[in-house]
Structure 1
Amino acid sequence: MEYVLIFLLSTVKFAMTFPIAVFAKGLTPPMVYLITSLGGVSGATFFVYVWGQLVKFLRRKDMVPFRQRKPVFSKRSRRLAYIKSKYGFWGLVILTPVLFSIPLGALILAAYYPNKRRIVKCLAITIACWSLIMVVVLFTFREWLMQFF
């Protein structure tokens, strides 16, 4: 049951899953890597395709805030434009698992970039890399980090 909960949590809040898996559940490093990687990739795949279909539907109905009409300069639109222009595709893909949540990153990527297969492949690679980094760091400094929990 704990494996399923960690899997489901990693589909949504990828970076927050590691402390729970390592400190609260006491799983082994290979299991943490496998469960969080599979959960993150599953969540990325699901959300990229769901958000992609939702954006496509809303564009047809002319209800989507991602359309290319007159510019609207709200705080949100400025932030999205800043992130997209400053970091680009690869910046969003690399930052999505740890800085943004997977659903939010998938929404931004699906709205601005049309190639869903490329998005999912790149997210899968970065999720696997981040998972490896997090597992190595958390298990290397486990004893030192235990004093904070």
Structure 2
Amino acid sequence: MSNIIKIITVTFFAAFAFKIATPFALASNLSFTETFIGLALGGTIGVLVSFFGGEYIIERWFTKPITTTSKKRKVFTKTNRFIVQVLKSHGLLGLAIITPPLLSVPVGSIIAARFNVRYFKNTRYVLSYLLGGVIAWALVLSSLTYTLPYLKSLF
């Protein structure tokens, strides 16, 4: 398999989850630069598509009148509580930091889009945090992917 196909595959996986893309890049024997480019490009594409798609859906969904009269009880899972805790304590910066490694890129982007539609109304501000978080995590994960095997061989 040529390196371009491997980079495209890493990019595709990174658009959804860095947890899948990083081990695949390591198993594919890509260089640090190729891994970083694949992770950063895929994460950026995932953020942009999910953010604007989520924003569009949220704006359409919340402008419709509610026709049901029965009130459904909200279900709070451990993940929901964790996300709410991060948003309350650290805000958008905290969400941008936890999105690539812990949440998937689309989930974090849609939560940020909801946050943007409801509170900020400043797409540039929200996107800069999300994209900064994705690029920072791409750099960190690419670095760890290629330094850990070296450190392991020392011991």
CA RMSD of aligned residues (A): 2.4
Please, which runs of 5 or more residues in structure 1 have no aligned partner?
Answer: 64-69
**Could you tell me whether the CA contact under 8 Å between 1:51 and 1:110 is conserved in 2?**
yes
SS of the residue aligned with 1:27?
coil
Equivalent residues, number: 139
Establish whether residue 58 from structure 1 lines up as the match of residue 65 from structure 2: no
Post-superposition shift, 1:121? 1.6
SS of the residue aligned with 1:15?
helix
- The residue that corresponds to 1:37 in the other structure is 40
Post-superposition shift, 1:33? 0.5
1:45 partner amino acid:
L
C-alpha separation between the residues in 2 aligned to 1:42 and 1:60? 27
Quick one: structure 1 residues 20 and 109, their matched pair in 2 at CA, closer, same or farther if it must change by over 3 Å?
same
Post-superposition shift, 1:116? 2.3
Establish whether residue 118 from structure 1 lines up as the match of residue 125 from structure 2: yes
C-alpha separation between the residues in 2 aligned to 1:31 and 1:62? 48
1:89 corresponds, among 84, 88, 92, to 92
**TM-score (normalizing by structure 1):** 0.82
* Bigger radius of gyration among the two: 2
**TM-score (normalizing by structure 2):** 0.79
SS of the residue aligned with 2:142?
helix
2:75 partner amino acid:
S
1:134 partner amino acid:
L
